[in-house]
Structure 1
């Protein structure tokens, strides 16, 4: 997994912007975790039917 390193110098002038960025990072991380959870819980409704003769088939999930 890639690693990201950021050097920041925070002054009073950019403190609000930094807080906004941290909030965006937190929201993005929560959305990513939610998407991973939904992907983990995903169950496909697709079924594949195969057979050699008409009426003689097997269902594969």
Structure 2
């Protein structure tokens, strides 16, 4: 587990999006949390169904 390992980085992002870890003032977290709940996915971590609906490119 190290930064630069994309599945690990997305694991950390998932913890952040679900409120398990918190960082300073993030202006975009509320919008990202809504998109995450709407079914947008990460590229490497979690379920994949091939619909290309990702939080980021």
Q: Give the TM-score of the pair, scaled to structure 1.
A: 0.27
Larger strand percent: 1
Q: Give the TM-score of the pair, scaled to structure 2.
A: 0.29
**Larger-Rg structure:** 1
Larger helix percent: 1
